[in-house]
Amino acid sequence: MQDLTLARHGQAQTGAKDEASYDNLSDLGQQQARWLGEHIRSSQGYDHVVSGALNRQIQTAQNIGLDAPHHKDARLNEMDYFGLAASLAKTHGVPWPSSEPEFIAHVPKILTAWRKGEISDDLESYEAFCQRISAALMDATQYEGRVLLVTSAGVISTLVAMALDLEVSGKSKIFMSVSHTSLHRFSLREDGMHLTQFAATPHLDHANRLHGVTYA
């Protein structure tokens, strides 16, 4: 049995309409990561940190600031949400959301079309995405000691959906519940992957840090 902890990256550039504009931490995102690092150092710590290769994931790992080797694994990168959104607009006429309620309604439409294969052939398939993030998790078990993986909401929500055998509607709710720098734990056992912790934010559970609980 191997336990792995996953953290979502800190808040990035909210309101961006493309990956390049989105892919850097905001000032609050950097602070969220520093608070997480303080919490981790005051508890058991980690022996290895593995982040995806996106700027926001790397920056989060750096701001957490643990005295542990930092490895990068692009298989922990987020799904191409902006590409999927553009494909959905082209094939289904669904416009890019302009408000939080519209974004909440937008997520299940993207996930449904993606899972059904109703997207551009140039984009990564849902099956390929699941395979790469599952493989990244399995390979992370080869590191000795406690391992922290820094990734994104789409990766985390997909792994939760796989562990709990959720349909798209359930996965969409999970996706919207993964706050920035929240912690999630999975236990990899002989009978499969088990979710043992979801969306913990002990580093933000303080009266003067409640503004730091963000989702978008």
Q: The tokens 């449904």 sit on which residue?
A: 112
Q: Is residue 115 part of a domain?
A: no
Res 168: pLDDT: 87
Q: Is residue 118 part of a domain?
A: no
Average pLDDT along the chain, 216 residues, taken 10 residues at a time: 94 86 96 98 94 98 97 97 93 87 90 91 94 97 96 97 93 94 96 96 96 92
Q: Is residue 158 part of a domain?
A: yes
Q: Is residue 19 part of a domain?
A: yes
Total structural domains in the chain? 1
Q: Is residue 13 part of a domain?
A: yes
Among positive and negative, which fits the CA dihedral 214, 124, 50, 82? negative
Q: Is residue 98 part of a domain?
A: no
Range of the domain at 133: 6-79+124-212
Q: Is residue 73 part of a domain?
A: yes
Res 207: pLDDT: 95
Report pTM.
Answer: 0.95
CATH at residue 207: 3.40.50.1240
Q: Is residue 201 part of a domain?
A: yes
